[in-house]
Structure 1
């Protein structure tokens, strides 16, 4: 299967990240990171073992630092952002990472962007700005914790963009190694949780949301994304990812975390139009 299509599959799963994170609300961010990655690691290692590929977990310290640091850093910041700031606004700030992936690809990987692709990026970015501008969470009187949540959302966008773009520099690392990186992220998050948070025992709904997180957006999606970024087109994936904040926002709105408005419809057209321009660029 085309590697870029695998990356698109990861984008589809990530559309549910915000909704499932909100359904797990009440679990501290580091604890949620540890639990969801523990599920992802157990499922991933089971599949890798069944394929007889456990040797793929033996990687260099640089590969482990890149994998564990990227996965842990992004999700710890993301879950913290959704815990402190309004869900829709924080979720959309996080989705600055597609823009950053496209822009980072030029200086880091030496890939040409081109006018048409840049126009697609600009339209997608305009859609995000329009959505953010219509959000109620951005006000001067917001509590300090809300602004800290917004900073965490921006931070996770930067972390994920850098992780994704630099993954092509580690293209020799097999995708199966992601299972080990998930285990490392779970361990690191668990240690941080024990040092900084009080443990909350999840109820049935929170446990189900955590399980689905670990199997989907925090599990299978990483294997698909790793293959897409290492062997696909990071510029195209970075721009097509602008469809994810729209889908994620719609899911949050349907779940009662925000309202569907005309602004959302216009933003959807901008994001979809930007993705189409980038997809048809030579």
Structure 2
């Protein structure tokens, strides 16, 4: 893995630091928090939390977490309460939370919910014999977690659930990530989440950072005045790449300091 040079990182920070109103949109798992075998154990690393706090305090700067997690779970792992100034986009942008407004959702109907519950039950039954496989409930679908499973069990779980969804809900959206396959009856992606956040806060530039395949939708959607940051390995449309969460935290700290110097 080749990470960006310090000159490249400095140029990326300078590009967005001078914008009139900046949106810093960040994936959570693998970007601010290490990936965990038990997903609800995820928490921001102290350096990442400090960098987020510094950006929240910077002038004309809005921070948002953009995650595939259901909003209720994202609030738990982000230790996010009603006094927070951090915006949230959960379920790949189908659910939003903002200060003073609270929760907004793009909605669901009784038929979608009934099918979601039936498919999740079918997936749980089909994979119950596979050690290390966990079916995660999500607001608009479910995820098949295989982080603790053997490669053979993971492949079998994904095959079984793929067959179930293909037979019963072929119109659902399928997404892959690190040791997870997600299925949803909503089709929002992190690209639409970032676009909605950009419009909502009136941002003139965006920095988006992520580490997974599902983050590439957002990274590929950014414009010339924006900056995309890939955390870790993998093919990417990002402007720059950093090695890990600690390196991203350092980049965000630099951005907060430069933002305060230029705009404050």
The TM-score range, normalised by the shorter chain, is under 0.3
TM-score (norm 2): 0.28
TM-score (norm 1): 0.27
**If each structure's strand is expressed as a fraction of its own residues, which one has the higher value?**
2
More relative contact order in 1 or in 2 (CA 8 Å, sep 6+)? 1
